[in-house]
Structure 1
């Protein structure tokens, strides 16, 4: 098989899908079928516009929290903890045994630790001068 690398900063959706499809096929061959299900809890303003919320997926019996944001003016009211509790409850209902996420040293590590998340890894200088923390919490334990 002859392959040649082609660097681009603008892959088409079909090109991106081709790479993902290849990985999905490999994973399925290892016994891990693709089973991603989106999960979103949206914070809407009085006008119905989305002002923040939580976006993630459940897959392979885990919740993956991709993004969580509470508008600055609404912080300190327990909304972030409420969003996380709702996401974790839905993940448990979907049969998930754990949850994972990433946060940065300029974001909310302490918030997640107060919710029972533990650091599972760190990347220093990502971005430069900061640390990226990977965190997880088991949902199948008391």
Structure 2
């Protein structure tokens, strides 16, 4: 029996799941249950419409912030900071080691650094002529690691 390579014109959720299933099984066999939990924190206007917020997931003891959006007319009102504080609270409540995310050069690196995030990686020319930054913020040390001087 052999395999063939297929490239769907319009990839579907089923296509993604076909790829994820063996990857999840492999990862679980090596690193255990990832404890996957989606996280959504919404910004809602006075009319009850959701107009932005934060989307992420907890997996393997870290919260990954995939999306953070505050509508332009609401920027400067500390909504981004409030969303990130809520995300950190959720991460702490679930025993996460930290929070990580990525942002483009033309987005919000300085914002995240003001919140205590540190750069741990960067990808040049994404998009061409700019960079994508990867940042993290530790909330606690990994289990079993000793803090302070051991002398």
Shared fold per TM-score greater than 0.5: yes
Inter-partner Cα distance in structure 1 for 2:136 and 2:4: 38
Q: Which residue of 1 aligns with 2:107?
A: 107
Shift of 1:29: 1.2
Inter-partner Cα distance in structure 1 for 2:15 and 2:69: 31
Shift of 1:112: 0.3
Q: TM-score, normalised by structure 1?
A: 0.94
Shift of 1:74: 1.1
Q: Which residue of 1 aligns with 2:119?
A: 119
CA root-mean-square deviation: 1.3
> Residue 24 of structure 2: SS of its match in structure 1?
helix
Query: Which runs of no fewer than 5 residues in structure 2 stay unpaired?
Result: 142-151
Inter-partner Cα distance in structure 2 for 1:75 and 1:15: 37
1:90 aligns with 2:73: no
Inter-partner Cα distance in structure 1 for 2:12 and 2:77: 42
Shift of 1:83: 0.7
Contact 1:24 1:33 in 2 (8 A): no
Q: Which residue of 2 aligns with 1:43?
A: 43
Inter-partner Cα distance in structure 2 for 1:11 and 1:54: 25
Equivalenced residues, count: 141
Shift of 1:35: 2.2
Q: TM-score, normalised by structure 2?
A: 0.88
Query: Which runs of no fewer than 5 residues in structure 1 stay unpaired?
Result: none
Shift of 1:9: 3.4
> Residue 65 of structure 1: SS of its match in structure 2?
strand
Q: Which residue of 1 aligns with 2:76?
A: 76
Q: Which residue of 2 aligns with 1:54?
A: 54
The structure with more radius of gyration: 2
Inter-partner Cα distance in structure 1 for 2:51 and 2:136: 26
